[in-house]
């Protein structure tokens, strides 16, 4: 039974700070700024916000942001765990809150100084020990030097390459396309700085087989999204980006980025679970999708996402990509903002904003007549995905 | 050319008189050599097996070619009040090669390492034969700055015959004579010591967190057991451990001790972030145990370039100074092939199995002595230090012997070596591991080998193949040995 909120909820406002390597201000300032901008974009007074859904990884507490925004009452506030896997999840939860009547206008945001303060890529090797289950779970990897997101993904990448004959160049093509799209985007950190496959192949190893240019940026910045009912959205300032689907997924023998113990590790079953729900909820199929915002913290996991959603057969993403399908003008242009390799790494929230722009027709790399945009969240973690569609 | 170099080069091209091996090819010395090299080819020690093989009887391991004539131990007996040993070197030898070494010693080039050895085998040498070698100085290089120090390369060629005059092989050999403590890295020695000073806290591995659900695993590792959680109700294994059996729902969980054997399922190598505790970028592996579950671990004792998915792995246990133990894995040594490969089984590009060779003081000393090489740097740590080395190191005859064993273990007992060419790089010091890997680079059809193809190698035999393999042995400092060997493989089983 598909959840009834399909097409009943919309994203009505988007707001972001600049994306930099040193914001020179606190993450709280970034959070408040991007939330204000999202409300302003929607034409909604922040005082009308009555719900907030954030990542459990978010270090700017929602009540603090609410206090700064002058929000007097919150009737729904909740969190989604598992890092970047939460990106579409916060929107899904907001949609459920709105559909159930728990809140009317819900802000979702992610803001951090992930470059100038704590660098995400530096790893978890310094974390104190503890007997708590989540800390204990790192004991099966950290003592062996597998301490960073890149290293956790590399283990999947090597196996995927072995099973399907994919190469470093196949991963590199994703990076080249992201950077080509970012080159057109003034908001992107890598605006006007495209790369070649040769650049990718020459970039240094981070965790073999992942090179520097397979890895997303570390960014300072904030991105907020305002979610409300489709009905309310129609009365606000912007063309609504309607949620024709929103889903979360965690699958059998799920671990946080280290689900190495399943029968096979060359697919992403939790993303497959999101895909099944989205197709069912939206009534759409892969041929209906005009743009894909495919989570790209690390290029290797872009490939199995395309397979899990059925854009190509298992193991054939490398050919799908090499044939030009994911570039502008291809069958499924992806990451038209430049992705997290090219624009900014905001744990996927900036990708959702790009999905909204494609529906509004305001992307710097606009796909003409885009009706439906697929947005995915962090991979290898318990994850989530959205389908954004034109209203009506 | 300097006068000194001219002096060094005076003897080039002069052939020395024949050096006759003090002993006939004999079982005790072969046995000693085979034990030290862990060589188990029965053609070298098993009379019955050897009689039925391509040589028609026991033969010397081919890599022993130059061991038979080595001068042996030269204890300075005069220092202990005994008369000096009788000289065994000929006058000519002293005039050429020997005198070059003496000149270099006197000029301060006290350090010595062998860098190249190329054996060519005309045939294997039989039990009871005696070998003689005729050496010729081929070249003395100009003075060169090397990683070890400033020095000269000295190259010789030796022809080997039996004392009956039957040619059995030849050797091209090169050593470096260098001035200790003048190496390219000498300036860094001080800096390294500074890094070891007690002021800098040593980098440590991330410590594991434990609780009641997982402590059996860590207690097991400390007891050198790889324990995998097992449901006491339904017997299902799971890793990482949990609090309940997801299959049958039982909370009654115990463990099973795994054999530690498995295969590599996936891998990566962490270059960033820097992890100083590991020294070098760690290789992380996902190993599928033969019990069916996977464990994450470090792959040790090999280079990243040597590993591949599917290779056999064996657990060992690492004790961390912080007080915990970890099960780590190294490539498993493949068993020696007892049925010799046939020419038709071999193709260019075929990989040879990876083989770790642990390096110990005993191993380095035992192989040096088994090859009759009593150069002090191979057994005397004090003198090795004095000569600019951080520890004793393996001699080239042993590297050659271990390489031949590695190739022979893959080829099978009746493949016949035609040559064995090696070049040395980073030294093999104790407390390290040299891991061999290699592949077939050429397969050429070849008439049944002339090399002692048994008593009746009469007509009608199908062609075999001359197969060239390239191999490398890598230790923690880098490649110790790189080289190649060509072997003859028969078309049909030879026994």
Rg of chain A over CA atoms, in angstroms? 19
* Residue B110, token pair as written in the block: 């006290």
B330 touches chain A (CB under 8 A): no
Q: Indicate the burial class of A138 (C-beta count within 10 angstroms; 0-12, 13-18, 19 or more).
A: buried
Phi, psi dihedral angles at A391 (to 5 degrees): -70, 145
Q: Give the single-character DSSP code of B125.
A: P
Q: Look at the block and give the residue holding tokens 């040299």.
A: B434
Please report, in angstroms and rounded to a whole number, the separation of the first and last CA atoms in chain A: 22
Q: Which residue has the tokens 């240094």?
A: A204
Among B211, B238, B258, the domain boundary falls at B258
pLDDT at A27 over 70: yes
Residue at which a domain ends, from B132, B154, B185? B185
Q: In this complex, which of B209, B326, B328 lies closest to A130 when CB atoms are compared?
A: B209
Asked if the Cβ–Cβ distance from A144 to B208 is below 8 Å, we say no
Task: Give the domain range for residue B174.
Answer: 1-25+60-185
Domain boundaries, chain A: 9-117+216-389
> Are B18 and B149 in a shared domain?
yes
The alpha-carbon gap from B156 to the nearest alpha carbon of chain A, in Å, equals: 43
Average pLDDT of chain A, as a whole number: 96
- At A127-171, the pLDDT tens digits run 888 888 988 999 999 999 999 999 999 999 999 999 999 999 999
Measure A118 CA to nearest chain B CA, in Å. Answer: 13
Q: Which long-range contacts (CB under 8 A, 24 or more apart) does A330-333 make?
A: A332/A286, A332/A289, A332/A290, A332/A291, A332/A292, A332/A306, A333/A181, A333/A290, A333/A291, A333/A292, A333/A365, A333/A367
Residues of B with CB below 8 A from A124's CB?
A: 206
Query: Among candidates B164, B53, B67, which has minimal Cα distance to B451?
Result: B53
Residue B251: exposed, middle, or buried by beta-carbon count in 10 A (0-12, 13-18, 19+)? exposed
Q: Looking at chain A, which residue has its C-alpha nearest residue B205?
A: A143
CA dihedral B164, B165, B169, B174 (to 10 degrees): 110
* Non-local CB neighbours of B470 within 8 Å, separated by 6+ positions: B438, B439, B441, B482, B483, B484
Domain total of chain B: 2
The pLDDT assigned to B148 comes to 85
> How far apart, in Å, are the Cα atoms of B135 and each of A138, B25, B38, B417?
62, 20, 30, 22
Q: Are B110 and B227 members of one domain?
A: no
Residue B89 maps to a domain:
yes
Inter-chain CB proximity A145 and B213 less than 8 Å: no
Among residues B23, B92, B116, B14, the alpha carbon closest in space to that of B372 is found at: B23
Which of B258, B283, B300 terminates a domain? The answer is B258
Is residue B294 less than 8 Å (CB to CB) from chain A? yes
CA distance A345 to chain B (A): 18
Give me the helices (H) in B15-64, please. Answer: 27-37, 47-51
pLDDT, one tens digit for every residue, chain B (495 residues): 688 999 899 889 888 888 899 999 999 999 999 999 999 999 999 999 999 999 999 999 999 999 999 888 876 655 566 665 555 544 444 456 778 888 999 999 988 889 999 999 999 999 999 999 999 999 999 999 998 889 999 999 999 999 999 999 999 999 999 998 888 765 444 444 444 444 556 689 999 999 999 999 999 999 999 999 999 999 999 999 999 999 999 999 999 999 999 999 999 999 999 999 998 999 999 999 999 999 999 999 999 999 999 999 999 999 999 999 999 999 999 899 999 999 999 999 999 999 999 999 999 999 999 999 998 899 999 999 987 789 999 999 999 999 999 999 999 999 999 999 999 999 999 999 999 999 999 999 998 655 444 444 444 567 899 999 999 999 999 999 999 999 999 999 878
Contact B273 A123 (CB under 8 A): yes
Q: Which residues contact B336 (CB under 8 A, 6 or more apart)?
A: B40, B41, B408, B409
Q: In what helix (H) or strand (E) does residue A355 lie, and over which residues does it extend?
A: helix A349-360
CATH code where residue B90 lies? 3.10.129.10
pLDDT value of residue B192: 41
Contacts of B238 in chain A (CB under 8 A): 261
What CA–CA distance (Å, rounded) separates B461 from B466?
15
- What is the arithmetic mean of pLDDT over A4-33? 96
Measured CA to CA, the distance from residue A165 to residue A316 in angstroms comes to: 10
SS3 at position B376: helix
**B59's torsion region: left (phi>0), alpha (psi -120 to 50) or beta?**
beta
Compare CB distances from B240 to A140, A157, A209 and report the shortest one's residue: A140
Question: If you classify domain A9-117+216-389 with CATH, what class do you get?
Answer: alpha beta
Give contacts of B 212-251 with A, CB under 8 A.
213-214, 238-240
User: Over the stretch A201-253, which tens digit does the pLDDT of each residue have?
Assistant: 999 999 999 999 999 999 999 999 999 999 999 999 999 999 999 999 999 99
**Cβ-based contacts of B275 with chain A (< 8 Å):** 125, 145, 147
Q: What residues does B258 pair with on adjacent strands?
A: B226
For chain B, the first-to-last Cα distance in angstroms comes to 58
In the DSSP assignment, the letter for residue B455 is: S
Between positions 301 and 320 of B, the ones with CB within 8 A of A are 304, 309, 320
B282 touches chain A (CB under 8 A): yes
Q: Judge if B10 and B159 occupy the same domain.
A: yes
Residue to substitute from B205, B221, B284, interface A, most A β-carbons within 10 A: B284
- Give me the pLDDT at residue A120, please: 79
Interface test with A, best of B268, B289, B296 (most A CBs within 10 A): B268
Predicted local confidence at residue B110, as pLDDT: 87
Are B180 and B67 in the same domain? yes
**CB-based burial, A284-314: b 16+ in 10 Å, e otherwise:** bebeebbbbbbbbbbbbbbbbbbbbbebbee
Q: Is B122 part of a structural domain of the chain?
A: yes
Secondary structure element (H or E) that encloses residue B331, with its range: strand B325-331
Asked, for residue B20, whether it belongs to a domain, the answer is: yes
Task: Determine how many CB atoms are found less than 10 A away from the CB of residue B344.
Answer: 14
> How many Cα atoms are found within 13 Å in the side-chain-facing hemisphere of B274?
3
Residue with tokens 């970034």: A30
Distance, CA of A44 to CA of B237 (rounded, Å): 56
pLDDT 10s digits, B436-494: 999 999 999 998 655 444 444 444 567 899 999 999 999 999 999 999 999 999 999 87
| pLDDT the model gives residue B462 | 73
**Is B324 domain-assigned?**
no
User: What pLDDT does residue B190 have?
Assistant: 42
User: What 3 state SS string does A106-122 have?
Assistant: EEEEEEEECCCCCCHHH
pLDDT of res. B79: 59
> What pLDDT, on the 0 to 100 scale, is given for residue A341?
97
Catalytic residues of A: 295, 345
Which of A123, A146, A159, A259 is the best substitution to test chain B (most B C-beta atoms within 10 A)?
A: A146
Beta strands A372-376 and A291-293, pairing class:
parallel
Model confidence at A270, pLDDT cuts 50, 70, 90, reads very high
Do residues B85 and B222 share a domain?
no
Q: Which residue of B has its CA nearest to A134?
A: B209
């Amino acid at each position: 039974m598909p959840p009834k909120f399909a097409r009943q909820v919309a994203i009505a406002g988007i707001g972001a700070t600049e994306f930099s390597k040193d914001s020179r201000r606190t993450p709280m300032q970034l959070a408040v700024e991007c939330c204000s901008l999202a409300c302003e974009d929607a034409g909604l007074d922040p005082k009308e916000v009555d719900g907030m859904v954030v990542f459990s990884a978010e270090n700017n507490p929602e009540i603090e942001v609410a206090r700064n925004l002058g929000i007097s009452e919150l009737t729904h506030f909740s969190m989604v765990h598992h890092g970047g896997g939460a990106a579409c999840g916060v929107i899904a939860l907001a949609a459920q809150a709105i559909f159930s009547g728990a809140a009317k206008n819900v802000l979702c945001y992610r803001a951090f100084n992930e470059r100038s303060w704590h660098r995400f890529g530096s790893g978890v090797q310094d974390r104190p020990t503890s007997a708590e289950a989540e800390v204990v779970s790192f004991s099966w990897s950290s003592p062996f030097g597998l301490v960073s997101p890149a290293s956790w993904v590399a283990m999947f990448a090597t196996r995927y390459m072995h099973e399907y004959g994919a190469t470093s160049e196949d991963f590199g093509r994703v990076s080249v396309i992201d950077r080509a799209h970012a080159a057109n985007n003034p908001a992107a950190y890598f605006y006007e700085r495209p790369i070649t496959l040769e650049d990718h192949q020459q970039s240094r190893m981070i965790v073999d087989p992942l090179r520097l240019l397979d890895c997303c940026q570390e960014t300072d910045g904030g991105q907020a999204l305002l979610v409300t009912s489709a009905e309310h959205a129609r009365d606000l300032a912007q063309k609504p980006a309607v949620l024709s689907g929103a889903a979360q997924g965690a699958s059998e023998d799920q671990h946080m980025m280290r689900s190495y113990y399943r029968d096979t590790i060359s697919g992403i079953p939790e993303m497959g679970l999101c895909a099944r729900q989205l197709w069912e909820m939206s009534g759409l199929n892969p041929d209906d999708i005009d743009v894909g915002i495919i989570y790209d913290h690390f290029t290797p996991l872009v490939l199995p996402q395309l397979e899990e959603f059925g854009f190509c057969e298992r193991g054939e993403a490398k050919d799908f990509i090499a044939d030009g399908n994911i570039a502008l003008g291809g069958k499924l242009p992806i990451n038209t903002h430049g992705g997290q390799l090219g624009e900014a790494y905001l744990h996927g929230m900036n990708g959702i904003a790009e999905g909204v722009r494609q529906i509004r027709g305001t992307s710097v790399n606009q796909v003409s007549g885009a009706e439906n945009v697929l947005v995915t969240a962090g991979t290898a973690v318990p994850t989530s995905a959205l389908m954004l569609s034109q209203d009506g | 050319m300097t006068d000194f170099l001219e002096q060094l080069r005076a003897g080039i091209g002069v052939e020395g008189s024949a050096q006759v091996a003090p002993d006939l090819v004999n079982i005790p010395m072969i046995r000693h050599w085979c034990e030290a090299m862990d060589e188990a080819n029965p053609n070298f020690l098993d009379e019955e097996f050897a009689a039925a093989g391509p040589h028609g009887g026991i033969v010397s391991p081919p890599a022993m070619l130059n061991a038979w004539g080595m001068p042996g131990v030269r204890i300075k007996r005069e220092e202990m009040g005994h008369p000096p040993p009788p000289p065994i070197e000929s006058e000519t030898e002293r005039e050429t090669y020997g005198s070059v070494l003496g000149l270099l010693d006197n000029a301060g080039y006290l350090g010595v390492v062998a860098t190249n050895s190329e054996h060519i085998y005309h045939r294997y040498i039989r039990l009871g034969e005696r070998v003689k070698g005729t050496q010729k100085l081929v070249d003395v290089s100009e003075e060169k700055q090397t990683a070890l120090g400033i020095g000269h390369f000295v190259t010789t060629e030796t022809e080997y015959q039996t004392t009956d005059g039957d040619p059995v092989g030849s050797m091209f050999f090169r050593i470096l004579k260098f001035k200790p403590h003048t190496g390219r890295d000498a300036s860094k020695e001080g800096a390294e010591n500074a890094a070891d000073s007690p002021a800098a806290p040593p980098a440590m591995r991330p410590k594991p967190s434990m609780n009641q659900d997982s402590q059996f695993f860590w207690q097991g590792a400390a007891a050198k057991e790889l324990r995998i959680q097992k449901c006491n109700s339904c017997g299902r294994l799971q890793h990482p451990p949990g609090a309940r059996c997801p299959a049958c729902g039982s909370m009654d969980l115990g463990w099973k001790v795994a054999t530690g054997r498995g295969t590599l399922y996936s891998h990566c190598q962490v270059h960033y972030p820097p992890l100083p505790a590991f020294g070098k970028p760690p290789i992380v592996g996902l190993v599928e145990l033969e019990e069916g579950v996977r464990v994450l671990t470090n792959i040790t004792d090999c280079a990243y370039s040597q590993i591949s998915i599917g290779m056999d792995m064996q657990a060992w246990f690492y004790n961390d100074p912080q007080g915990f133990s970890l099960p780590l894995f190294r490539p498993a040594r493949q068993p020696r092939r007892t049925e010799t490969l046939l020419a038709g089984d071999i193709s260019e590009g075929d990989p040879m199995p990876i083989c770790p060779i642990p390096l110990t003081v005993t191993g380095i000393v035992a192989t040096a002595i088994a090859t009759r090489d009593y150069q002090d740097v191979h057994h005397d740590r004090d003198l090795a230090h004095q000569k600019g080395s951080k520890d004793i190191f393996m001699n080239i005859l042993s590297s050659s012997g271990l390489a031949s064993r590695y190739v022979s273990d893959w080829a099978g007992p009746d493949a016949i070596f035609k040559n064995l060419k090696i070049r040395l790089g980073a030294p093999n010091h104790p407390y390290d591991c040299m891991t061999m890997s290699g592949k077939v680079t050429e397969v050429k059809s070849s008439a049944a080998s002339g090399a002692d193809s048994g008593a009746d190698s009469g007509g009608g035999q199908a062609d075999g193949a001359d197969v060239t393999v390239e191999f490398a042995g890598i230790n923690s400092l880098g490649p110790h040995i790189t080289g190649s060997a060509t072997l003859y493989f028969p078309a049909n089983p030879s026994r």
